[in-house]
Each structure stands twice: as C-alpha cells, then as structure tokens.
Structure 1
C-alpha cells in the first residue's frame, strides 16, 4: 500500500510501501530504511510500523520539477504531514485544488483515493515527516475532542476527502522536538512501542492545538500577501542563522522590510510563538543535542551565547526539568 511516482521518464515506480499496517500478527515495532537513485531524483525513506500506526521520514532531492503521483490501492488512513525543509504544491485530479507545502508547516489529510501531480523546488531538498493512523484508530483517539476535529471526522465517516488547511498550519518548537524524539527513540522492545505510541498521540494533540490557535490568530491576519509570509520565513531563517547573537526587533524590521507590529504579529501567526521565545527554544534544543554528543557544559553555554553557565543552567532546567550536569550524567549511563 505505497505511493506510485512517475517523472518525465514515463515509468511508474512504487515507493514507501506500508507493509503489514493492518496485520496484527506482525512484530510490534518494525523499521526499515530504503534509498533510491531514480531518473527524477534521489529519495530516502525511513519507515517505522506500529500496530495501526505508520511513521515515515522522507528526504527527497527531486530533479524533475513535476511528478505524477497515485495511490494504487484504497488508503483508509489519516495522515499527519509535517514539512521540515523545502516547498512544493500537490494537486489532486478529482478535487483540482492545490495543496501548498511550505517549510515548518503541518497538515492533516484523509485521502482514501489519490491521483494527482506534485511540483517541488529542485534547489532545496524536500524533507518531511508523516504519521499515518488507520481510520478506526484515528476515530477512536479523537472521539469527543470537540468541534476542532469533529468536521474532519464527519468527512472521514462519510468516506470523503478532507484536509485541515489548504496552506497548512504553523509547526512550533514543541512539534519539532516531538518529531526529533521519535526519530531518536532511546528505547528497545516494549518500551520503544509505548514511547513511540505516546509520541504519535502527542503530535496529534499538538496539531489539534496548533489548528485551534491558527484559527484564532487568523480571524484578522496581519499578513496581507504571500510577500509578507515570505518575509516572515526570511526572518525565521535569519534568526536561526544568528541565534547566538540575535538581532533586535528594530533590526529585524529593517532587514525584513516589515514594520515592527506586522513583524511581531505575523511571526506569531506563522510560528505560533513570539520571536524571542522561538530563538530561546531553538538554542535550548541545540544545547540538548550538544550535551548528548558529550560537548562540555561550559563550551555549550559559550558557543550558544549564554552570559554565564549559571544562567544557561537555569534556562535548561526550566525547559527540561533537569540541570545540564544531571542530564549529561544520565545520558552517559
């Protein structure tokens, strides 16, 4: 039950199969990584299959700007899709409505029958993360979850195609951290299954929460054009590149060409976070990664621009509930 792709060469290829998703007689956690060098590009899929849940991380460098895609079988699944890098547009032939794929955005789909085309930016790798729940599993998880998901569920029950948003909704640092935890699960056996199942449900909760916030923020949007949204994305990329010594709000406004009000409100609309908190969260996640790689605490604090080890330790403990020293010792055990 995979997806077929066809580039300009004209040959259909089946990729990213979901083996035994509905088979209860399989091992509880199965993983595999597949790499392909194809006429239309190079792709890699890392797949994790749990009971009634399928996880995939994809890394694609597409040379053909336009691909044809189709699902050869009925796909009675709900997909949570997270764009990590790259951008593109997918158009399904039946609906004939474009679905915009943009970095740091997420969406939810129910597409039992799919046939369409996709256009990707050939200059930037398209990296994505997906969680697929079987229809029954999803409906069980979200029953009585309120109006946010009720309309979505009504379409699923009716067997009708549905998506949360045509443009996608913002992914925040909590979402990114949850994805990172899934891809770097430290457990084995039964604990691994419990951990991955809990994180998949956590991502579903975070997405529903993000959609609620997205609707509230966009009752009166500060961003009036695609240009405004592109400038907000530029600001985010600039902040990440200069996270050690981030620019002031006035400097960001001057760099982006947006006034400070539009910049602050627009950034929160797109990333569901304030500018300063987004940078702080990013730095702490980077600190965690460096500590896991056995970089000394003093070096981590200095490299990430903290004024002192004491202040870094305070912020780290506030975020993760444990001091950097204890975190490092636990990671080494």
Structure 2
C-alpha cells in the first residue's frame, strides 16, 4: 500500500491512498478538497497532482492531543512547511524524532517510511510539495552547492534531510504558498501556475539553506519564539504599528537582537515585512467594491491615500484604482 495514515487511539483510517510514484505523473491537474468531521478533530484536506508533483495542504482543529500512525511505500523528496502548531515526527528512517515548530521548513527524502506523528497543539496546518525521486534529481541537476550535496545523498537511496536544523518560513516562501492556496486560475493555466510556484519555492528553500548564517543571532528557542511573537504583533497592529523600540519591548528583546534576528529568520527587515504585508492585504481589500481606496489606506495605517497609491504603484506597476478596472 503506497500510503496510509490512521488515528492510533481509535484505529480510524484518515487517508488510504493507492497512488504510486508513477501515478504522480498525471498529464492533467487533479485536485480535491475534503472537509472531515471526526470524533477527535475537524479538518480540511486539499491535494493537487500533476506532472510528477503532489501538493498537500492540511488544516486541523484537534479536540485533544492526537497521535497518528503512518506507513508509506513512496520513493519521494518532500518539501515540508509547518505553517502552524508543533509537529513531532517519529520515523523508522531517523534515529531522533523530528520536531517542527511553528513556521518552520525543511526538505526530506525517504524511500518508504513508517512511524508516528504527534500534533502537540490543537490547531495545526502543514503544506507539502512531493516529487518522485527521479523527477527531483532531474530538476536539480545544476542547482546550488547545498542542493547538489543533498541530491548526492538522495542518489544513494538513504533517508536524509537537507539540514538537521529547520529554518523559519520567510516572507517570499509564505507569499508563494499563499499564491498556491488562493489561486483562481482553472485547468491547464492553473497547472502551469502551480508548477511555476513549486519550482519557485524549491529555489527559495535551496537558497535559504545555502545562505543560512554560520553564527545565528537568534540561537535559543526563547529568542525565536520572541521574534515570532514580534511578527504576529506587527500583523495584529498593522493599522498602527509600533516603533522598533516599542516592538522590542513588547517582544522581550533588545533592539539589536530583534533587528538582526528578524532579518535572519525572515530574510527581510521588520519594516520591510510590514510594508510587504500591507500591500498584500491591500489587494484583498481592493477586491471589495464597498471599500474606497481612502478607507483601505486608513485601515492599513498609511499616512495618506497618496502615500498608499505611490507604494502600491511602485510594487505592482499600476495604481490601486487600476487594480479594480
């Protein structure tokens, strides 16, 4: 059986798939979304198959801490993004458990696998992109040094991670994932779009692992949690963002560690992140015809509608009003 996952306490099978490595190579896009209500959790499970790629997005709301057992016969490379919650993976292929914290990613390879998955938080969300081994190796023939070393280990057939250290999901990765999850295209053009985003995300991951700092500023879990909190605080106060000193005080860090640690984890500055998220949210608001451009500028904390329009045009190449045309 290529893949099966079940809830250990109830022995209930959550997914039982007969998709083999070769079935990934569907010439057309196959996509499914299922909402499931179970005694121990509610979930939304989405899958996309096309051209040797399998994308998976899961959103879980557990009623209690839950343990799952999984078994797979697939020979795959998996790009894993833990978007929310804490995930603990005990695998036959790895001597030590793999613990993914909130907003972390890695790339893994295995040829068949079995073990248990524990979601330690009640809310959990993951996004994965899977390639059959041969497809991945062909795609990454002339990649950077880190990806070349990883591919050499994949060729040997041994289970491997691209790095023992998971990295934070930075803003460009999050934007690419969001673009996939919110894609409005249909059929063939959607398949082209998803393929382009899968390659873009692989490039972003490869560069993140290739360029990670030798000596991290945010070294401890406490430092990383504080910087994650700072990012969430920015999003919650996007209409009236704090100064850097205020944000450092709220997060419980000094300004130096906040500035350097934020750039290290998210590959952008605090205020670069704020500017990008404002513009990203503005496009969502502009799709609502009941909101004026002035109202949107005020909602997102711009000093004036002129400032908002100038920033929008610089980013996207056209004005907010042209976005609505």
Q: Return the TM-score normalized by structure 2.
A: 0.92
Deviations 1:9-44 (A, max 9, x none): 2x1514173746623885501111122223432222
Q: Distance in 2 between matches of 1:188 and 1:233?
A: 35
Cα distance in 2, alignment partners of residues 263 and 243 from structure 1? 18
* CA deviation profile, 1:106-139 (whole Å, cap 9, x unmatched): 211112222222222333x111111111112111
Q: For 1:196, which of 189, 194, 197 is the aligned residue?
A: 194
Q: Give the SS at the match of 2:116.
A: strand
> 1:304 and 2:305 equivalent?
no
**Gaps in structure 1 of 5+ consecutive residues:** none
Task: Report the CA distance between 1:84 and its aligned residue.
Answer: 1.8
1:324 counterpart = 2:323: no
Corresponding residue of 1:48:
48
The within-5 A match list for 1:19-58 is 19=19, 22-23=22-23, 26=26, 28-58=28-58
Name the residue aligned to 2:257.
262
How far does residue 193 in structure 1 lie from its aligned partner after superposition? 1.7
* Cα distance in structure 2, aligned partners of 1:82 and 1:312: 32
C-alpha separation between the residues in 2 aligned to 1:62 and 1:182?
Answer: 25
SS at structure 2 position matched to 1:100: strand
CA gap of 1:300–1:131, structure 2 versus 1, over 3 A, is same
Moved over 6 A (4+): none
Residue aligning to 1:8 = 9
**1:171 matches 2:172:** no
Q: CA RMSD in A?
A: 2.1
Cα distance, 1:53 vs structure 2: 0.6
Distance 1:112 1:63, change over 3 A: farther
Residues 18 and 80 of structure 1, relative CA distance in 2, 3 Å threshold = farther
Is the 1:170–1:210 Cα contact (8 Å) retained in structure 2? Answer: no
Q: Label 1:143 to 1:86 Cα distance change in 2 as closer, same or farther (>3 A).
A: same
CA contact (8 A) 1:21 1:51 kept: no
**Is residue 278 of structure 1 aligned with residue 278 of structure 2?**
no
The answer as to whether partners of 2:36 and 2:42 remain within 8 angstroms in 1 is: yes
Alpha-carbon spacing, 1:223–1:180, altered in 2? closer, same or farther (3 Å): closer
**CA deviation map 1:31-63 (0-9, x unaligned):** 111222234322221111112011111001233
Q: For the Cα contact (< 8 Å) 2:82–2:105, is it kept in 1? A: yes
Q: Do the aligned partners of residues 308 and 22 (structure 1) sit closer, same or farther apart at CA in structure 2, a change above 3 Å counting? A: same
Summarize the Cα distance change of 1:224–1:192 in structure 2 as closer, same or farther, 3 Å threshold. Answer: closer
- Please say which of residues 163-172 and 297-306 is displaced more in the overlay: 163-172
8 Å contact from structure 2 (residues 31, 49) kept in 1: yes
Q: Distance in 2 between the 1:64 and 1:254 partners? A: 34
Pick which of 42-51 and 158-167 moved more.
Answer: 158-167
Quick check: 1:99–1:167 contact (8 Å CA) kept in 2?
no
Unaligned runs of at least 5 residues, structure 2 = none
Q: Contact between 1:80 and 1:130, CA under 8 Å: does it hold in 2? A: yes
